[in-house]
C-alpha cells in the first residue's frame, strides 16, 4: 500500500506541470517553425508526432516490468520478514544459510526485473534523443532540396532552437505517459487489495441478540461456516458444520485433535469466517463508550480475545496490560497475581516499566503469552476467548492460572478456552465441547462426559 499509493501520489504531484506549459510550447513552436521553414517543418513535425505511438509501446513495456518488480519485491519482503521474525529458531536449528539462499534467490529475481527496466529505459531515452536530430536533418533536407531555398545561419540556428523547444514537451509527454501507465498498475494493485473477500463480520454480528437484554445469548444455532466465500471461490476449504452450542458463565473448554476446528470455532464466533446457514450470537457490537458496566460486577457486554500467538505493543509491560483501559491499581495487581507475573517483574530491571521491544523480543514465550492473557483479564469484558494461551507455560504455572480463572476477578465471566492440555484443564472447567473434523462430537459438563466414557 505504501509503495503503490506513493506512485499514484507522485503522478498527482507532477501531472499539473503539463498544463498549460506543454500545449503552449507545442503550439508556439509549430507556428514559428511553419513561419520560418514553411511546409518542410510541418512534414518533420508530422513525422515526429507519428512516432508518438512509440511512447505507448515503451509505456506498456514499463508497465509489465514495473508489475514484475513490485511482485518480486513483495515476495522478497514477505520472506525477509518471516526470516527476521523467526531468526532465533533459524539460528538454533542452523537453517540460516538455507533461508538466506532463498532470500538471495528472491533478490536475484527482483534485480533481474530492475535490470530489464533500466535497459528498456535506456533504449527509450536513446530513441527520444536520436529522433529529434533526425527530424531536424529531414526538415533542412526538404527545405534545401525540395523547396530550393538557401539555409542561411539566421534560419538554421533559429530552427534548431525551435526544434529544441519542441522536443522538451514531447519528452515530457513521453515521461507522463510512462508515469500514467505505472500509476494505473499501482491503482489496479490497490484495487485488488481493497476488493479482497470480506468476511461479512458486521452482518453476522448485527444479528446477535442485543447486549441490552438481561441474559444475552452467546453461541451458535445450527450454524455452518467456512474460510472461503462460496460465492467467489469454488475451491473447497475447511468447514465447521452444524454448530449448536450455548456458552455459559464459567470456563468452557474446546478440545479435540489438531486440525479439528477448535481455533476456527473462536474465529467463527468473532465473525472472521464466512457464515452459511444458521446463526451466530456474540454480545457486543457497540463502541466502548456506549457500553455501560454492570454496577455489581463492573463488567460490560463486550469480548476480550487472547490469540494463540501473543500480540504485544512496543511499549512497557504495564501499558500492554492496561491497553487503554482506565487505571485501577487494585485490579492491576490482582491481574499480575492471577497471571503469575509478579516473579517475572521482580527480576526485570525496569519492573512493569520494562520496554518489551518489537513484538516482545526481550521476553520469553511464556512471559509474552501471560502478558497477553493479563490484558484480557484486566479488561472489563464479560466474555473472554482464549486460544490455547497456556501452551507456552509450565504445568505449575498453568495450574495457578486456571485456579485464578475460576476465582477472583474472573469468576463471573464467560471464558471460552481452546486447549490441547485436556488432563490439566478439564478439572477446572464447567463445560466441555469436543470437536473432530469441524463438527461437535459431544458437549456437556465434565462429569457427564466422564460418565459416557468420552474423557
User: Over 80: is that where the pLDDT of 108 sits?
Assistant: yes
Indicate yes or no: pTM above 0.85: no
3-state secondary structure of 238: coil
pLDDT digits (tens, 9 = 90+) for 15-45: 777 777 778 887 888 888 888 888 888 887 7
Facing residues of 225 across strands? 240, 275
Q: Give per-residue pLDDT as tens, 55-107.
A: 677 777 877 888 888 888 888 988 888 888 788 778 888 888 888 899 999 99
By three-state DSSP, how is residue 421 classified? coil
Q: Which of 189-198, 282-291, 341-350, 358-367 has the highest mean pLDDT?
A: 341-350
CA dist., res. 368 & res. 283, Å (int)? 28
* pLDDT, mean of residues 382-388: 89
* Beta pairing partners, 255: 434
Q: What whole-number distance in Å separates Cα of residue 193 and Cα of residue 187?
A: 10
Q: For domain 202-451, which CATH number applies: 2.60.40.10, 3.40.50.300, 3.40.250.10, 3.20.20.150?
A: 3.40.50.300
Whole-number Å distance between alpha carbons of 301 and 209: 11
* Mean pLDDT score, 303-316: 88
Domain boundaries, the chain: 2-194, 202-451
Q: Which three cell numbers stand for residue 190?
A: 490497490
CATH class of this structure's domain 2-194: mainly alpha
List, in order, residues 6 or more apart from 442 with CB less than 8 Å away: 432, 433, 434, 449, 452, 454
Task: Please tell me the predicted confidence (pLDDT) of residue 308.
Answer: 86
Band (137; pLDDT cuts 50, 70, 90)? confident
Output the pLDDT for position 210.
45
Per-residue model confidence (pLDDT) at position 211: 44
Q: If you average pLDDT over residues 128-138, what whole number do you get?
A: 79
User: pLDDT tens digit string along 48-68?
Assistant: 777 767 767 777 787 788 888
* Range in 52-56, 69-73, 387-391, 422-426 the model is least confident about: 52-56
Q: Which residues pair with 316 in a beta bridge?
A: 355
pLDDT value, residue 225: 87
Q: How far apart are CA 261 and CA 240, in angstroms?
A: 7
Distance CA 214, CA 259 (A): 36
Amino acid at each position: 500500500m505504501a509503495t503503490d499509493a506513493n506512485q499514484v501520489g507522485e503522478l498527482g504531484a507532477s501531472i499539473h506541470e503539463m498544463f498549460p506549459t506543454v500545449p503552449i510550447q507545442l503550439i508556439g513552436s509549430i507556428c514559428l517553425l511553419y513561419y520560418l521553414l514553411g511546409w518542410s517543418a510541418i512534414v518533420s513535425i508530422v513525422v515526429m508526432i507519428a512516432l508518438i505511438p512509440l511512447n505507448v509501446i515503451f509505456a506498456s513495456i514499463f508497465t509489465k516490468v514495473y508489475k514484475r518488480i513490485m511482485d518480486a519485491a513483495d515476495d522478497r519482503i514477505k520472506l525477509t520478514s518471516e526470516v527476521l521474525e523467526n531468526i532465533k529458531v533459524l539460528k538454533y536449528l542452523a537453517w540460516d544459510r538455507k533461508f538466506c539462499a532463498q532470500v538471495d534467490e528472491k533478490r536475484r529475481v527482483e534485480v533481474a526485473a530492475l535490470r530489464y527496466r533500466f535497459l528498456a529505459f535506456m533504449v527509450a531515452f536513446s530513441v527520444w534523443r536520436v529522433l529529434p536530430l533526425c527530424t531536424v536533418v529531414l526538415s533542412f533536407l526538404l527545405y534545401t532540396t525540395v523547396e530550393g531555398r538557401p539555409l542561411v545561419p539566421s534560419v538554421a540556428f533559429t530552427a534548431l532552437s525551435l526544434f529544441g523547444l519542441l522536443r522538451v514537451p514531447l519528452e515530457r509527454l513521453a515521461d507522463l505517459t510512462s508515469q500514467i501507465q505505472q500509476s494505473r498498475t499501482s491503482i489496479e494493485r490497490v484495487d485488488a487489495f481493497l476488493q479482497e473477500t470480506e468476511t461479512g463480520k458486521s452482518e453476522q454480528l448485527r444479528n446477535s441478540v442485543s447486549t441490552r437484554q438481561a441474559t444475552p445469548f452467546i453461541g451458535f444455532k445450527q450454524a455452518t461456516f467456512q474460510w472461503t466465500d462460496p460465492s467467489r471461490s469454488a475451491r473447497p476449504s475447511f468447514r465447521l458444520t452444524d454448530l449448536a452450542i450455548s456458552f455459559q458463565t464459567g470456563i468452557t473448554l474446546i478440545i479435540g485433535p489438531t486440525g479439528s476446528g477448535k481455533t476456527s470455532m473462536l474465529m467463527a464466533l468473532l465473525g472472521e469466517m464466512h457464515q452459511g446457514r444458521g446463526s451466530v450470537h456474540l454480545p457486543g457490537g457497540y463502541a466502548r463508550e456506549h457500553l455501560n458496566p454492570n454496577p455489581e460486577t463492573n463488567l460490560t457486554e463486550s469480548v476480550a480475545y487472547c490469540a494463540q500467538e501473543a500480540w504485544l505493543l512496543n511499549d512497557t509491560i504495564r501499558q500492554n496490560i492496561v491497553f487503554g483501559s482506565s487505571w485501577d491499581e487494585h485490579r492491576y495487581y490482582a491481574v499480575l497475581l492471577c497471571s503469575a507475573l509478579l516473579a517475572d517483574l521482580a527480576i526485570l530491571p525496569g519492573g512493569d516499566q520494562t520496554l518489551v521491544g518489537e513484538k516482545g523480543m526481550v521476553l520469553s514465550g511464556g512471559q509474552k503469552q501471560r502478558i497477553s492473557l493479563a490484558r484480557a483479564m484486566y479488561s472489563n469484558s464479560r466474555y473472554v476467548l482464549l486460544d490455547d494461551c497456556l501452551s507456552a507455560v509450565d504445568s505449575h504455572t498453568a495450574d495457578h492460572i486456571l485456579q485464578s480463572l475460576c476465582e477472583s476477578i474472573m469468576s463471573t465471566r464467560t471464558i471460552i478456552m481452546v486447549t490441547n492440555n485436556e488432563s490439566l484443564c478439564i478439572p477446572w472447567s464447567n463445560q466441555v465441547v469436543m470437536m473432530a473434523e469441524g463438527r461437535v462430537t459431544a458437549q456437556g459438563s465434565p462429569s457427564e462426559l466422564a460418565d459416557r466414557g468420552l474423557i
